[in-house]
Amino acid sequence: MVSVRGGGGRTRFRTVPVRTAIRSGPERRYRSADERTVDGRTAGVVSGDATEEAARRRTFAVISHPDAGKSTLTEALALHAQAITSAGAVHGKAGRRGVSSDWMEMEQARGISVTSAVLQFAHREQVLNLLDTPGHADFSEDTYRVLAAVDCAVMLVDAAKGLEEQTRKLFDVCRHRGVPVITFINKWDRPGRDALELLDEIESEFRLKPTPVTWPVGIAGHMRGLVDVRDPERMLRYTRAPGGAKEALEETLGAGQAAAEHAGDWQQAGDELALLRETGAVHDPEAFLAGKSTPVFFGAALSNIGVRLLLDAVVDMAPAPGPRPLADGGGERPVEAPFSGLVFKVQANMDRSHRDRIAFVRVCSGVFERGMTVTRAATGKPFATKYAHSVFGQDRSSVETAYPGDVVGLVNAGALRVGDTLYAERKAVFPPMPTFAPEHFSVVRPVDIGRTKQFRRGIAQLDEEGVVQVLVSDRRGEQAPVLAAVGPMQFDVVRHRMENEFTAPVRLESLPYQTARATDLQGAELLNRSRLVHGEAMHRVRDGVWLGLFPSRWHISSFEREFPDSPLETLIAAHE
């Protein structure tokens, strides 16, 4: 018996979150106030308090090493949730549009993600908040900030390359933050490694039990289909849509037909699953949430194969928003408490026609209502939320109400900074965002001295967004700030945005420093007066912290020997 899923004519319920953007043909239309619809007809209005609505939310990030297919998977998930009608590709060919999450010109030109993006859509009467993240290691800070705002992560692994450097680092962050991880082994339609070998690598590298939920029929590059481990007597076979722009046609084959048509591959898949069951590789919800195991899925994001099963798993397995820890041992903020939110990202000029600035706020507790006045914990001052948006990539629309797990974009929020806590009624302060040790330093100057005002405004904006760290030295003054970055591609972003968004082209002059240490004013003065020729102290504009910059670790040791009482504090390293 063969049953077919996909294509048109399906009738199913889905919940459209507050003003979530839903593509319909070439235009985008919006629905308001959590309407439950069936084939576009209103079937009722969903309402409830913060606890009930939080239970319907799943807020997760997609993370991976560069080129593992992260943005492609993001687009495929949105496609299967029917939030868009046609998926793009990261490296789009002529005539193809770029992915919804890669909205920046530089991202579309290079085929990489350099900034995080938010997509909100609905699936199976649940509201999904998907945070796409940069994969490149040079943008680690942006990814780490996003992981502070999610409850789960989907880790993408290239079937041919296995676990790569950035994959390992990101998993360590997830472990540190207690974020459970679902693993998707991508590109199974291309030549790659053995499936059991990949599971062994995950277990040995991460000390994490991989528990397959889907299993491939056929080796990498010769994929015949998938087996849902929960229904092992059936095989899912796929027919890819032209160009991978639509959902792949999915057929369900019984065991007899699968054995008849794919005898050797079907038998091998069955033997491997039997072996995995004997070793205890069976999904355990408690072990997953405790960070002791990871459910594993196989597929091909570009072909939209196995994506539906992953999307269902996010709904069924990922945790709903829960209590969030407060700073300085202050306990936890339960979801039913009055409103609180965490600013995890600030982005300017998403709308080029308005030159605005948007602060992304993860709702942590209570109910957010547009127009409410909240308190910024850093200053104790009130903040009005008149302009609040729901975000879908670069597109957005006004949002009236949001619940724990949702991401709200506050427009023209010039006072807000990354890491800020907002709250109503009862005070809350969430732990600060990490700032990483920079390893690349350049003096930045305007090409056209007549654009100095635009230059200063642009550099200040990029600093507030966390694109780079901006330092000021006594030697150069504020007219020639120093940019400090984790990776050199951050400087490319600065050049591009300064020229295209702030109309103030810049030139960069590299400095011979490779490492930094935090110090105090006394240590800064000693460093600048010491006999070290290639050492210098600067203060960070964002928070006033003094940094000592050194060409090498040898110079650090030399300074510490000369001034043993001067403090040098090691910063968080993004590349360790």
Annotated binding site for GTP: which residue ranges?
132-136
Contact residues for 464 (Cβ-Cβ < 8 A; gap 6+): 346, 417, 418, 542
Rounded to 5°, angle at Cα 22 from 19 and 24: 140
> CB–CB of 101/31 below 8 Å?
no
Find the largest Cα–Cα distance for the chain: 82
Question: Cα(533)–Cα(378) distance, rounded to whole angstroms?
Answer: 39
> CB–CB of 410/422 below 8 Å?
no
> CB–CB of 481/472 below 8 Å?
yes
CA neighbor of 268 nearest in space, from 260, 277, 259? 259
DSSP output for 185-247? EE-TTSS---HHHHHHHHHHHH--EEEESEEEES-TTS--EEEETTSTTEEEEEEPPGGG-SP
Neighbour-count burial of 42, counting CB atoms closer than 10 A to its CB (0-12 exposed, 13-18 middle, 19+ buried): exposed
Contact residues for 399 (Cβ-Cβ < 8 A; gap 6+): 18, 19, 370, 388, 389, 390, 408
| Per-residue H/E/C for 78-117 | HHHCCCCCCCCCCCCCCCCCCCCCCCCHHHHHHCCCCCCE
> CB–CB of 518/512 below 8 Å?
no
Backbone phi and psi for residue 381, each to the nearest 5 degrees, phi listed first: -95, 150
DSSP output for 438-467? P-EEEEEEESSGGGHHHHHHHHHHHHHHTS
Q: Which two tokens stand for residue 217?
A: 């029929």
Q: Annotated binding residues, as ranges?
A: 132-136
Question: Cα(276)–Cα(279) distance, rounded to whole angstroms?
Answer: 5
Would you say the C-alpha torsion 300, 305, 311, 313 has a positive or negative sign?
negative
Q: Which two tokens stand for residue 555?
A: 């110079």
Would you say the C-alpha torsion 496, 501, 506, 508 has a positive or negative sign?
negative
